[in-house]
Amino acid sequence: MTQIERLHSTGRMSRIVIHGDTIYLCGQVGNAESSVADQTRETLAKIEGLLAEAGSDKTKILQATIWLASMEDFAEMNAVWDNWVVPGTEPARACGEAALARPELKVEIIITAAR
Amino acid sequence: MTQIERLHSTGRMSRIVIHGDTIYLCGQVGNAESSVADQTRETLAKIEGLLAEAGSDKTKILQATIWLASMEDFAEMNAVWDNWVVPGTEPARACGEAALARPELKVEIIITAAR
Amino acid sequence: MTQIERLHSTGRMSRIVIHGDTIYLCGQVGNAESSVADQTRETLAKIEGLLAEAGSDKTKILQATIWLASMEDFAEMNAVWDNWVVPGTEPARACGEAALARPELKVEIIITAAR
């Protein structure tokens, strides 16, 4: 059996789950008070921190699923995203609209990465 | 090539797909007549049954994606979820709002697990 | 470290990411002017093309996540899907409602497959 490691377990979820050389992060969000652009920046910064703890980084993201509370924020989120990804290492990505845990949350990003 | 096993194939989907030591379950739901708490319980019971058939169990879940028909049901779903997960083995998790296959369905959970 | 290969990188995402023998495709959509059935056909044809480039095919899909802009289109999408999957090789599947990148887009399908 491939080993499973978990980090930052909260009783509800683990922020990081590592299975062999695949890393699963729980859905990341920014601060409820922030703009869409800032929530995107905060979310991506959290993802970078978690990937670093897991022994990975943003150039090793395999798949990103992005949920926006409103698709009207698509361009504002993308402007931050497009600047953040490293050319030549872009992950597979999908983006759809979904209300999130609190109405003030505008962006949630779910990451699968390689170690 | 890593072997692929499928169980409970319906013509539309397979309830269990096993690829090497990674297990993918199709989205599970409860009974349309039940409360949110009961639909969550029924969904989690189905997941336990499918994981057992795949040679796994709830302590080996890697990632859970939860769709709620209404985010107003977040606390009611979480109360059942939090009692169900085994401390120290919590999966990565994301929860967003999505209408499901039938309006009476309130909770759907999509699982990736290790064998 | 397992190698990562990426194909069709756009600056925003890679249409294909291969990690070991697991393939992640970015969310595929059809043509905005088409009917739900035709968007489903176009999406599935794109998926077949990308899987072929990745050295795989539709009989090796592990997991499919389907987003419909309206769950009222569930039966119309399913009629095309059910004819497309090869009996005995059906993937794990989940289908929920999510508004997509443009209002004319009715179907998006996110694929994880084996090589």
Classify domain B26-114 at the CATH topology level: 60s Ribosomal Protein L30; Chain: A; (3.30.1330)
The answer for B 48-107 residues in CB contact with C (under 8 A) is: 65, 67, 98-101
A81, amino acid identity: W
Contact C100 A97 (CB under 8 A): yes
Structure tokens at C74: 């569930």
The answer to whether B24 contacts chain C (CB < 8 Å) is: yes
Closest-CA distance, B11 to chain A, in angstroms, reads 26
Summarised one tens digit per residue, pLDDT across range C19-71 is 999 999 999 999 999 999 999 999 999 999 999 999 999 999 999 999 999 99
Closest Cα in chain B to C81: B12
Closest Cα in chain C to A96: C100
Where does residue A88 fall: left (phi above 0), alpha (psi -120 to 50 degrees), or beta otherwise? left
pLDDT averaged over every residue in chain A: 97
C96 contacts on B by Cβ (under 8 Å)? 27, 67, 98-100, 108
Is the pLDDT score of C101 beyond 80?
A: yes
CA distances from A72 to A75, C98, C107, C112 (A): 7, 13, 18, 28
CA distances from C107 to B3, C52, C80 (A): 30, 21, 12
Superfamily in which the C28-110 domain is placed by CATH: RutC-like (3.30.1330.40)
Summarised one tens digit per residue, pLDDT across range B45-97 is 999 999 999 999 999 999 999 999 999 999 999 999 999 999 999 999 999 99
Question: Does the pTM exceed 0.95?
Answer: yes
Contact C13 A88 (CB under 8 A): no
Q: Which CATH architecture has domain A4-114?
A: 2-Layer Sandwich (3.30)
